[in-house]
Amino acid sequence: VSAYDVAIVGAGVVGCAIARELSAHELSVALLDAGPDVGAGTSKANTAILHTGFDAKPGSLEAGLVRRGYELLGDYAERVGIPVERTGALLVAWSDAELERLPEIVADARANGYDAIREVGVGELREREPSLGPGAAGALEVPGEAIVCPWTTPFAYATEAVTSGCELLLDTPVTGVRRGDVFMLETPSGELSARFVVNAAGLHSDRLDRMMGHEDFEIRPRRGQLIVFDKLARPLVRQVVLPVPTATTKGVLVAPTVYGNVMVGPTAEEIPDPDDSASTRDGLDYLMAQARRIVPDLLAHEVTAVYAGVRAATEHSDYQLRAHAGERYVCVGGIRSTGLTASMAIAEHVRDALVADGLELGARRPAPELRMPNIGEAFPRPHERGGEVVCFCERVTLGEVEEALSAVVPARDLDGLRRRTRVLMGRCQGFFCGARVARLVAEARGATVEEVLRR
């Protein structure tokens, strides 16, 4: 039986951030995920905004962690090469009723320590976003909002953690927990023991919480569908265009992506099944109607992709981040719609909670030198220096594919390769590069092309 100081269950952006934080010390850490890759749950399907936290509920745990996470991830991204673009955002009121809510949003932003927010008149709004549809009543400028690569972020955390000795156990769902002097985590490939357990199981964090003997919250899955428009639409949108949020959702935004596309979404649908990340006719019709209203010219462009992510909402409005004193167990549940931004701050918080419960961190390990391969459009990419191009839509070179397949945390399937390099995500839908890329993955994994395609 492998024995660890800490087992982190769930290798989404949150679990990976925690693994990175703890692996910086002389500890034995295991990071487990039920799936075949890190960051392959909710963390791969969001709107990828690095939030300032201006609209968080003042005084909530989420507000504090988003604010700190914004600073930490913003700095870290620049340091290790995670694509981030400081576009800023305009929050647009589309009716008099929404206009009346702007002062309240400004007051909340100030209460959250964010003072850079300011009102913008309709004239200036039109000048700043000339493609906006008619009917805007006013706006707020939130200059700090940024867009970030949601895929490179967990890869960077996991790469750092694994380089520092963290054991990454993929395809390893925790199916049961026994408790003695240490925790015994049951998985289909055997048991492992851990002195401390961190629950970062996202949409299944309530189930794991129950396995750990608690019943503090229930996940109420809230799906968000999105539409990605072709790169030719990118000049239509200069920054993030936010709506006036409601009590349950931040609403439908229009935003550039770091890959040079424009996205519209997300919806907010309560669904029974946390794993149901399907797109639906109704959802897409709704988003198209929103696109037509917010930036009508978008509809002249092609849709490159649709996808959906599911938020780990709960019956509570705040994060369900609980340390169970004396139990050597920290639960990180209900990280619903800001977890990418807050990830590094959540990791610090969890570290401190574990220390308060008796974990000795030990000496600090030297931080590994890390520079992630860039997949952001705003920064130099390998194809600019030449090299054989495999995917022409997204201009991905063979060198990038080979690097991703042999990285410290390598791509193990087509989806993992897509998120590391951008292959298969262009306007041709993989028609051009699909066969070759599948062959490359098969060779690297010692599998057949059929097996790769089946995954």
Ligand X SMILES: Cc1cc2nc3c(=O)[nH]c(=O)nc-3n(C[C@H](O)[C@H](O)[C@H](O)COP(=O)(O)OP(=O)(O)OC[C@H]3O[C@@H](n4cnc5c(N)ncnc54)[C@H](O)[C@@H]3O)c2cc1C
When the beta carbons of 27 and 40 are compared against ligand X, the nearer one is: 40
Min separation Cβ 319 and ligand X, Å: 9
Of 53, 64, 144, 202, the residue at the interface with ligand X (CB under 6 A) is: 202
CA distances from 60 to 65, 202, 387, 426, 435 (A): 9, 20, 50, 40, 49
Out of 25, 51, 204, 349, the active site residue is: 51
Q: How far is the CB of 183 from ligand X (least distance, A)?
A: 13
Cβ-based nearer residue to ligand X, 301 or 311: 311
Measured from the CB atom, is 267 or 397 closer to ligand X? 267
Shortest Cβ 164–ligand X spacing (Å):
19
Single out the residue of 64, 83, 256, 339 in contact with ligand X (rule: CB under 6 A): 339
Among 8, 201, 425, 440, binds ligand X (CB under 6 A): 201
CB atoms within 10 A of CB 116: 12
Residues of span 300-329 touching ligand X by CB under 6 A: 309-311
> Binder to ligand X among 6, 149, 174, 294 (CB under 6 A)?
174
Minimum Å gap between C-beta 238 and ligand X is: 18
Contact track, ligand X, 361-400, x by CB under 6 A: ----------------------------------------
Query: For ligand X, which stretch binds (CB under 6 A), given 8-16, 232-240, 356-364, 447-455?
Result: 8-16
Contact call for residues 142 and 50 (beta carbons, < 8 A): no
Please give the residues from 251 up to 280 whose contact with ligand X meets the rule CB under 6 A: 266
Q: How far is the CB of 252 from ligand X (least distance, A)?
A: 11
SS (H, E, C) the chain: CEEEEEEEECCCHHHHHHHHHHHCECCCEEEECCCCCCCCCHHHCCCCEECCCCCCCCCCHHHHHHHHHHHHHHHHHHHHCCCEECCCEEEEECCHHHHHHHHHHHHHHHHCCCCCCEEECHHHHHHHCCCCCCCCCEEEEECCCEEECCCHHHHHHHHHHHHCCCEEECCCCCCEEEECCCEEEEECCEEEEEEEEEECCHHHHHHHHHHCCCCCCCECCEEEEEEEECHHHHHHCCCEEECCCCCCCCCCEEEECCCCCEEEECCCEECCCCCCCCCCHHHHHHHHHHHHHHCHHHHHCCEEEEEEEEECCECCCCCEEEEECCCCEEEEECCCCCHHHHHHHHHHHHHHHHHHCCCCCCCECCCCCCCCCCCCCCCCCHHHHCCCEEECCCCEEHHHHHHHHCCCCCCCCHHHHHHHHCCCCCCCCCCCCHHHHHHHHHHHHCCCHHHHHHC
- What are phi and psi for residue 9, nearest 5 degrees? -100, 115
- Tell the smallest beta-carbon distance from residue 41 to ligand X (Å): 3
Least separation in angstroms between CB 380 and ligand X: 25
- Binding mask 92-111 vs ligand X (x if CB under 6 A, - otherwise)? --------------------
Name which position in 105, 109, 208, 414 contacts ligand X (CB under 6 A). 208
Nearer to ligand X, 138 or 150 (CB): 150
Q: Which CB, 89 or 438, lies closer to ligand X?
A: 89
Q: Which is nearer to ligand X, 62 or 141 (CB)?
A: 62
Site for ligand X in 212-231 (CB under 6 A): 224
Shortest Å, Cβ 236 to ligand X: 20
Query: Among residue numbers 24 through 63, which ones bind ligand X (CB under 6 A)?
Result: 32-35, 40-43, 46-49, 51
If binding is defined by CB under 6 A, does position 10 make contact with ligand X?
Answer: yes
Give 252's contacts (C-beta < 8 A, 6+ positions apart): 243, 264, 265, 266, 267, 287, 290, 294
90/437 with CB nearer ligand X: 90
Please give the structure tokens belonging to residue 253: 């935004």
For the question of residue 51 being annotated catalytic, the response is yes
By beta-carbon proximity to ligand X, the closer residue of 92 and 393 is 92
User: Does residue number 91 form part of the binding site for ligand X (CB under 6 A)?
Assistant: no
Q: Candidates 9, 72, 77, 227: give the one binding ligand X (CB under 6 A).
A: 9
> In the complex, which residues of this chain contact ligand X (CB under 6 A)?
9-15, 32-35, 40-43, 46-49, 51, 173-174, 200-204, 208, 224, 266, 309-311, 335-341
Active-site positions?
A: 51
